[in-house]
Amino acid sequence: MVNEFAYCPRLAYLEWVQGDFEDNADTADGRYKHRIVDKEGGLLPSPNGRGDGGEGETIHARSVWLSAPEEWLTARMDLIEGEGLDVTPVDYKRGAAPDLPEGAWEPDRVQLCAQGLILRANGYRCAGGVIYYIESKTRVPVAFDEALVARTRELVQGLRAMGARAQIPPPLVDSPKCPRCSLVGICLPDETRFLTLGGETPEAERDPEAEAEAEERVRRLMPARDDALPLYVQEQGARVSKSGEALEVWLKDQRLGASRLFETSQVALFGSVQITTQALSEALDRDIPVLFFSMGGWFKGLAHGMAHKNVEMRLAQYRAAQDPAASLKYASLWVAAKIRNCRTLLMRNHPNPPAATLEALSRLARDAGRVDNMASLLGVEALAAKHYFAEFSGMIKRKPTGGEWRFDFNGRNRRPPRDPLNALLSYGYSLLAKELTVTALAVGFDPFLGFYHQPRYGRPSLALDLMEEFRPLIADSVALNVINNGILTPDDFVRRGPACAFTSEGRRKYLRAYEARLDTLITHPIFGYKISYRRVLEVQVRLLGRALAGEIPAYPPFVTR
- Are 298 and 323 within one domain? no
Q: Is residue 411 in some structural domain?
A: yes
d(CA 251, CA 503): 19
User: What's the N-to-C CA distance of the chain in angstroms?
Assistant: 43
- DSSP symbols for 157-174: HHHHHHHHHT-PPPPPSS
- Residues 85/45, Cβ–Cβ less than 8 Å: yes
What is the domain count for the chain? 3
DSSP 8-state assignment for residue 97:
P
Look up the CATH number of the domain holding residue 345: 1.20.120.920
Instruction: State how far Cα 218 lies from the chain centre.
Output: 19
- Residues 492/509, Cβ–Cβ less than 8 Å: yes
- Are 237 and 365 within one domain? no
- Are 272 and 369 within one domain? no
Q: Is residue 297 in some structural domain?
A: yes
d(CA 72, CA 409): 66
Of 163, 195, 218, which marks where a domain is finished? 163
- Are 337 and 435 within one domain? yes
Predicted TM-score (pTM) of this structure: 0.83
Q: Is residue 424 in some structural domain?
A: yes
Question: How many C-beta neighbours within 10 Å does residue 201 have?
Answer: 13
pLDDT on residue 201 = 46
- Residues 533/520, Cβ–Cβ less than 8 Å: yes
Look up the CATH number of the domain holding residue 298: 3.100.10.20
d(CA 515, CA 533): 10
Residue 297: strand, helix, or coil: coil
d(CA 335, CA 232): 31
pLDDT on residue 211 = 46
Q: How many residues does the chain have?
A: 561
pLDDT tens, N- to C-terminus, the chain (561 residues):
899 999 999 999 999 988 888 877 788 878 787 787 778 877 888 877 654 445 556 788 888 899 999 999 999 999 999 988 889 999 999 888 898 998 899 999 999 999 999 999 999 999 999 999 988 999 999 999 999 999 999 999 999 999 888 888 999 888 889 888 989 888 888 888 888 876 554 444 444 554 444 445 688 877 777 778 889 898 889 999 999 989 999 998 899 999 998 889 889 998 889 999 999 999 998 888 898 888 777 778 888 887 788 888 899 999 999 999 999 999 999 999 999 999 999 999 988 889 999 999 999 999 998 999 999 999 999 999 999 998 888 888 866 555 555 566 666 766 778 788 888 898 899 899 999 998 999 899 999 999 998 877 668 899 999 999 999 999 999 999 998 888 988 888 888 777 878 888 888 899 999 999 999 999 999 888 899 999 999 999 999 999 999 999 999 999 997
Please give the helix or strand (H or E) that residue 208 lies within, else none: helix 208-212
Handedness of CA 545, 551, 552, 553 (dihedral sign): positive
pLDDT on residue 217 = 66
Of 303, 329, 364, which marks where a domain is finished? 303
Give Cα separations from 315 to 320, 459, 537 (angstroms). Answer: 9, 20, 22
- Are 421 and 381 within one domain? yes
Domain containing 382 equals 311-548
d(CA 230, CA 508): 13
- Are 234 and 325 within one domain? no
- Are 317 and 297 within one domain? no
Q: Is residue 18 in some structural domain?
A: yes
Nearest to 408 by CA among 344, 500, 317, 341: 500
- Are 340 and 483 within one domain? yes
Amino acid identity at 178: C
- Are 244 and 279 within one domain? yes
- Are 502 and 533 within one domain? yes
Of 163, 194, 216, which marks where a domain is finished? 163
- Are 355 and 259 within one domain? no
Q: Is residue 389 in some structural domain?
A: yes
Nearest to 423 by CA among 503, 486, 487: 503
With a CB cutoff of 8 Å and minimum separation 6, the contacts of 474 are: 428, 432, 514, 517, 518, 533
Interhelix angle for 533-548 vs 189-196, to 10°?
50
Longest alpha-carbon distance in the chain:
92
Q: Is residue 213 in some structural domain?
A: no
Give Cα separations from 472 to 211, 355, 392, 487 (angstroms). Answer: 24, 19, 11, 19
Q: Is residue 221 in some structural domain?
A: no
Nearest to 342 by CA among 469, 463, 452: 469
pLDDT on residue 299 = 79
Amino acid identity at 169: P
With a CB cutoff of 8 Å and minimum separation 6, the contacts of 444 are: 18, 19, 20, 308, 309, 310, 313, 314, 545
- DSSP symbols for 422-473: HHHHHHHHHHHHHHHHHHHHHHT--TT--SSSPP-TT--HHHHHHHGGGIII
What is the chain's percent helix, strand, coil content, to nearest 5?
A: 45, 20, 35
Write phi, then psi, for 137 (nearest 5 degrees): 50, 50
Q: Is residue 194 in some structural domain?
A: no
d(CA 499, CA 504): 16
- Are 237 and 317 within one domain? no
pLDDT on residue 215 = 45
pLDDT on residue 321 = 93
